[in-house]
Amino acid sequence: MMLDRAAGLLLLCGIASTASAFTIEYSRDRAPELVKCDRLLYAGQRTEAQTCFLELLAESKDTRIKADAARASGDVRAANGLFQQAIKEYPQDVAVRVRWGELFLATHQNNEAVKLFEEALGLDEDYAPATLGLAKVSAGRFEEKAREWAQQVIDESPDDALQAHLVLARTALEDGDIKAGDEELDRALELADDHDLTPLEIYALKASIDLLRGNTDSEWTKRALALNAKFGEAYATPAYFYVITRRYREAIELLRRAVEIEPDLYSAHAELGVNLLRENKIAEAEQHLQLAFRGDPFSAPIVNTLRLIDSFENFAVLQHTPPPAAAGASSSQNPGAILRLHKDEAPVLEPYVLDLVNRSIETYSKRYGFEPKEPVVVELYPDHDDFAVRISGLPGIGLLGVTFGYLVAMDSPTARADSGFHWGTTLWHEMAHVFTLEATGHLVPRWFSEGVSVYEEWSTGPLKGRHIPLSVLAAIKEDKFLPVAELDRGFIRPTYEAQVIVSYMQAGLICEYIAGRFGQTGLEAMLDQFAARKDTAQAIELALKITPQQFDEDFAAYVDSELGAVVAQLEPWQEAQTQAHEAASAEDWRLAVAHAARAIELNPDYVDEGSPYLVKARGHRELGETALGIDTLTKYRQRGGHDPDALLALARSLDEAERKADALDVLEDVLLVAPLRPEVHLTLGEALLAAGRATDAVVEYRALLAMQPHDLADAHYRLAKAYAAAEDRARSREHLLYALEIAPHYREAQQLLLEVVR
Amino acid sequence: MAVAPLLGAPVTLRASLSLALALAVAAPAHAELYYLIVGGLGGEAEYQDRFDQDTKALAAVARRTTSQNRVQVLTGEAATREALVKGLESLRARAKAADSLAVVLVGHGSFDGETYKLNLPGPDIDGDELAKLLAAIPARSQLIVNATSASGAVLEKWAAEGRTLITATRSGFERNATRFAEHWASALANGSADINKNGVITAQEAFDYASREVADSFEKEGTLATEHPQMAGGAAARFTVARLASAAPAAAAAAANPAVAALVAERDKLDGEIEALRARRGEMTNEAYLNELQRLLVQLAETQGKIDAAQPAVAPTSPGPQASPGTPVPQEIRQ
């Protein structure tokens, strides 16, 4: 096991051997020789400190001291070897294991670090630095366990607990609990004073508190810089809190200052690079990420993000000026959009993405009285891992889309081709964030921004209907909704598996409730309060003239009135669902229809996987009850059902029933869930052309052609036909020639060519 | 000038008019197409039904593509090793060097690492024996479609000069029941496989269509593909495997009417000029190319219009029974 660890680290060391050397050490058992060098470092005397560490590395007889000196001097490779050697020499020394674990932590190899911390605790279960190591790993993962480890250190080893207080302070501040964070920092300051430890990190966190309170000119920053003029964390630490509260522009400014005074603060270069990307400043971002990589080649997010930037050459950047305002329309300003779409998908997706972006800007500008000041950048990633790297530097994130202000990044339909992913709703959701973030200078709390986005999905989005997953209904039944003033906690630090989605839905319901009771102006007034730096409790009192407690009570009554009946019937609903599916499996369609109808009656909003509407529609089809089948699928669609095959079947049935306009509507819906299926464009193109909408048909046939279908001649011919109907003879001729170039004997194309060129 | 391969024989590559003329001179006068379709042992009812259905569909296409007496179909209990050997031996006796042979094998195949076997009622037949029987048939132009599981095992062993070999799998180790036969049958019956819209489906067009449908079917299911169709041999674009209805009346009219024959010859000349123009595309501006292309295509369309006017009306690209096989139909190589 130890060999694997060493091999893993050395593998990374093969890339480079430096990592950020500036680390504040709080261990009270640190060797005095090292402490002497540390002090030079903390005072900003970098050269002297480096000389001091290198001398120790060369001259010390104690391998443990040499290992620490190597690490502090930035030579990770040497440090790794020396720690390995030290463990052989001092197998019972818990401190060496923890120090080596810290090295793994600094090089982003948390699992190896945890193993070493646990080995240390195996040797001495009371060794506080080992427990603290676990706390730091957990804190980095936003795990609730971090607080428990930190509290354990404080309770059992109060004199060694300075860093534990810092862990608690950070987690409190991340949760927005400024008061608790401040109290922890005060205790940390006392300990620093008592034990003559540097307060630099504490000052940086104190400055962060000032920043969170709106004071951007903190005395604490000045104090930190007075101790060490090259202490970049004085800016980088507050910048972190800007980042987690989505104030990326302000974070960039602080991070620029951080790297200005401490050019080898690689973590700040990395953060700066990532945040510049969020502002669509690609070239500058790449420069900082390259610098960060040179200094810290162990960071997967840095490497991943640089690779992502390289892959941008496979994307098309499509700039769109604002559409002209319709005659008689209000003079709302649309600043336009920039689409970054994969080159393979851009020719198909561009018109649909642009249309939805423009429609959302028009809708939200009216509803929220805010006009975007910059073009909105919309990126769609066909590879989900690329999207995940874009937003977090790491693959495997379970999100669909993220908004950084005027930049939206999301999965493209290809990324989730097998999941019924309704990309149109995701884009609509994210575009609402653009408005809530920018209208408040990014001061809107997470819950409210998500709430507005979810509410807009339900009320104005392309997928109509309130869409509440079963896990959320179960949470309502178990009374798991949080008080509104604490709802952010459900997003940031969930305590049970489904809490994030539960929080999304609760936020959406709250916004729905506000809009219903106080009008759309209630939501706008909340945004105004957030823009004025009010917290949730204050915003509710000032905007809605109601106490948060009363709000929670009234909201609970609203939820009960809206969903109480469904929640109370979850078990009978489940039973009816199961019976419907069993009857369908047995091909007893009459029974299947009856059970499905019962399930629909008990929970009419359920349109997810296995929806009873689909069972019922299938039953009607098998029984030859076409009209009832159409009616069932129509209701399914009205509630937000969007299975593309079901919608295509509905469109076919409507078409056969001569309900051409309805069929067209349904087909247009399919584009928002399955835009990369050629048959959708083919069918829709035909329907649009038949309806006399030749220009719209052109869009569909262009998309079809862009997919390089098997029968290219046919695709060119169809497009030519649409162009001819749109009276664009030049383009019609061009595509007819392309069709006939492939298939010179294509009779229909020949006939149309003769008509077009004569 | 017409290129004159008869039905089923390789249609002529029209890389240039002169090449077309040369081939026309060399083309045999009485070449015939022989079809042998074998529906192997299903084992389970589900597979047997599927194989029977595929075999039936293929037989229908074959019977409308060449005359009935040149189509052999072995299916169900009749598809024994003995019957297959007998069928292939009869082809050895009947087919001439100038003729064409299309053999389609549907069903389960197996491969033990050394030997491929086609599963049949009673004793199976192995790949080596089949190879010998096929090699003994004098027809120089052969299309062998082995649509069975593990069929990729024969890719090297069955390769021969003048033979186009298509397998459903890329090796003998893709052993799941295959879907290729179903899509191959669909390609022959379906106008959408006719990419150049000339009313004739070549082995190349059918292979492209069927391969794509196989891949799409796995993709739609979200499952890993268990078969990867392969093709070897260079004559697939010239091997006509099916005719659609649109191609037949012109042939009949041309045979009966010298005026129509002249129009067909004019059309073929234009085809050659278009082909030659396409070959020169890189030397021209796009505008000049399209202008010249338009000039030729308009002439072609007008000529085609006259040909169509001289014959009974049919749906232009819909599949259907062939009225009169055997008249030349210009064919171009797939781009």
A562 plus A574 within the same structural domain: no
A599 plus A547 within the same structural domain: no
Cβ contact, residue pair A754, B308, below 8 Å:
no
Segment A600-604 mean pLDDT: 95
A654 plus A686 within the same structural domain: no
Boundary of a domain, candidates B187, B216, B243? B243
Closest partner residue to A740 among B297, B302, B308, by Cβ?
Answer: B297
In this predicted structure, the answer to whether residue A84 has a pLDDT above a threshold of 90 is yes
A406 plus A535 within the same structural domain: yes
Q: Is residue A631 domain-resident?
A: yes
What are the pLDDT digits (tens) for A434-451? 999 999 999 999 999 999
Closest partner residue to B297 among A711, A744, A748, by Cβ?
Answer: A744
Q: Which residue has the higher pLDDT, B66 or A721?
A: A721
Q: Could you tell me what percent of chain A has a pLDDT over 90?
A: 82
Instruction: Provide the CATH number for the domain around residue A317.
Output: 1.10.390
A362 plus A495 within the same structural domain: yes
**Confidence bin at A140 (pLDDT 50/70/90):** confident
Q: Is residue A15 domain-resident?
A: no
Boundary of a domain, candidates A525, A551, A568? A568
Q: Which residue of A has its CA nearest to B314?
A: A747
Q: Is residue A635 domain-resident?
A: yes
Torsion angle of C-alpha atoms A235, A238, A243, A249, degrees rounded to 10:
-50
A497 CB within 8 Å of a chain B CB: no
In this predicted structure, the answer to whether residue A114 has a pLDDT above a threshold of 90 is yes
CB-side exposure of A301: number of CA atoms within 13 Å? 20
Looking at every residue in chain B, the average pLDDT score rounds to 81
Q: Could you tell me what percent of chain A has a pLDDT over 70?
A: 95
B50 plus B120 within the same structural domain: yes
A552 plus A700 within the same structural domain: no
B189 plus B265 within the same structural domain: no
Q: Is residue B22 domain-resident?
A: no
pLDDT at residue B252 in the model: 61
In this predicted structure, the answer to whether residue B30 has a pLDDT above a threshold of 70 is no
What are the pLDDT digits (tens) for A234-264? 999 999 999 988 899 999 999 999 999 999 9
A417 plus A547 within the same structural domain: yes
For residue B196, give how far its alpha carbon lies from the nearest alpha carbon of chain A (Å).
4
In this predicted structure, the answer to whether residue A324 has a pLDDT above a threshold of 80 is no
A455 plus A398 within the same structural domain: yes
Boundary of a domain, candidates A675, A697, A719? A675
Boundary of a domain, candidates B213, B243, B273? B243
A397 CB within 8 Å of a chain B CB: no
Beta-strand (E) ranges in B53-211?
A: 71-74, 100-106, 109-111, 116-118, 125-126, 141-146, 163-167, 200-202
Q: Is residue A230 domain-resident?
A: no
Question: Of A98-102, A272-276, A463-467, B220-224, where does mean pLDDT reach its minimum?
Answer: B220-224
In this predicted structure, the answer to whether residue B332 has a pLDDT above a threshold of 80 is no
B301 CB within 8 Å of a chain A CB: yes
B43 plus B148 within the same structural domain: yes
pLDDT at residue B211 in the model: 96
Q: Is residue B27 domain-resident?
A: no
Number of domains in chain B: 2
Q: Is residue B17 domain-resident?
A: no
User: For residue A100, what are the contacts with CB-CB under 8 A and spacing of at least 6?
Assistant: A67, A80, A83, A84, A86, A87, A116
In this predicted structure, the answer to whether residue B26 has a pLDDT above a threshold of 70 is no
**Confidence bin at B67 (pLDDT 50/70/90):** confident
What are the pLDDT digits (tens) for B273-287? 998 999 999 999 999
Q: Is residue A660 domain-resident?
A: yes
pLDDT at residue B13 in the model: 30
Segment A186-195 mean pLDDT: 95
Closest partner residue to A745 among B196, B208, B212, by Cβ?
Answer: B196
Q: Is residue B178 domain-resident?
A: yes
B230 plus B273 within the same structural domain: no
Looking at every residue in chain A, the average pLDDT score rounds to 91
pLDDT at residue A421 in the model: 87
Strand ranges of the sheet holding B109-111, from the earlier edge strand across to the other edge? B109-111, B116-118, B125-126
Q: Is residue B21 domain-resident?
A: no
For residue B66, give how far its alpha carbon lies from the nearest alpha carbon of chain A (Å).
23
pLDDT at residue B247 in the model: 57
Exposed e or buried b per residue across A504-531, where buried means at least 16 C-beta atoms within 10 angstroms of its C-beta: bbbbbbbbbbbbeebeeebbbbbbbbbb
B51 plus B159 within the same structural domain: yes
B214 plus B254 within the same structural domain: no
B146 plus B233 within the same structural domain: yes
B255 CB within 8 Å of a chain A CB: no
Boundary of a domain, candidates A675, A701, A726? A675
Q: Is residue A217 domain-resident?
A: no
Closest partner residue to B304 among A714, A741, A745, by Cβ?
Answer: A745
Cβ contact, residue pair A741, B332, below 8 Å:
no
For residue A605, give how far its alpha carbon lies from the nearest alpha carbon of chain B (Å).
27
Q: Is residue B8 domain-resident?
A: no
B195 plus B252 within the same structural domain: no
A544 plus A511 within the same structural domain: yes
Segment A184-191 mean pLDDT: 96
β-pairing, B230-232 vs B163-167, is antiparallel
**Confidence bin at B248 (pLDDT 50/70/90):** low
pLDDT at residue B251 in the model: 60
B174 plus B49 within the same structural domain: yes
B295 plus B323 within the same structural domain: yes
**Confidence bin at B327 (pLDDT 50/70/90):** very low
In this predicted structure, the answer to whether residue A155 has a pLDDT above a threshold of 50 is yes
Cβ contact, residue pair A733, B196, below 8 Å:
no
**Confidence bin at A328 (pLDDT 50/70/90):** low
Over A223-277, what HEC string results?
A: HHHHHCCCCCHHHHHHHHHHHHCCCHHHHHHHHHHHHHHCCCCHHHHHHHHHHHH
Cβ contact, residue pair B196, A714, below 8 Å:
no
Q: Is residue A697 domain-resident?
A: yes
Q: Which domain holds residue A472?
A: 313-322+335-568
pLDDT at residue A584 in the model: 95
What are the pLDDT digits (tens) for B107-164? 999 999 899 999 999 999 999 999 999 999 999 999 999 999 999 999 999 999 999 9
Instruction: Provide the CATH number for the domain around residue B47.
Output: 3.40.50.1460
A563 plus A618 within the same structural domain: no
Number of domains in chain A: 3
A400 plus A500 within the same structural domain: yes
B306 CB within 8 Å of a chain A CB: no
Boundary of a domain, candidates B209, B243, B277? B243
Q: Which domain holds residue B275?
A: 246-335
**Confidence bin at B12 (pLDDT 50/70/90):** very low
A622 plus A522 within the same structural domain: no
Kindly list the distances between the CA atom of residue B243 and the CA atoms of B157, B247, B260, B263, in Å, as whole numbers in the listed order: 30, 7, 20, 21
A730 CB within 8 Å of a chain B CB: no
Instruction: Provide the CATH number for the domain around residue A721.
Output: 1.25.40.10
